[in-house]
Structure 1
Amino acid sequence: MNQPMTPDEEYDFYARPENQEPQGPGQRRLTATVPVRFPADLLEKIRAAAAADDRSVSAWIRRAVEHELRDSA
């Protein structure tokens, strides 16, 4: 499948056992943990934005940082 799936389509796809087999060796892409602190009001905005994008807070922050670095280059 080459088109993005909705969350419901992803759930249905991965609910089938034949789609739960690894497709290659595992990869650890993240190499370091960086503790970051946010004021409570900003963290709530981040959580809301992450939920609206159907992402974890960590994934949303990583994407925001990557976007900022790409735009500033």
Structure 2
Amino acid sequence: MPFTYLLKCNDGTYYTGWTVDLEQRLKKHNQGTASKYTRSRLPVGLVYWEEYKTRSEAQKREATLRKLSRKYKESLIESFKTS
């Protein structure tokens, strides 16, 4: 199943992505081989994810999340922690 996810980087910034294997993708990010952005901000931690039925849905949600403000992302993460 495809996922859309948010990572919190070591410098406090957030990274948004999508994948079909969340565990493997997180491992790749922390090895420095998944994205240029996270490579210089290690370690990263998974703080939020959503599961989708199709790759297309996950990619569309990723695009939407990228446009959201930091404040909105943080409120999304907080509501995720309490659910």
TM class by shorter chain equals under 0.3
TM-score, structure 1 length as denominator? 0.25
Instruction: Kindly indicate whether structure 1 or structure 2 has the higher relative contact order, using CA contacts under 8 Å at least 6 residues apart.
Output: 2
Larger relative helix fraction? 1
Larger Rg: 1
Larger relative strand fraction? 2
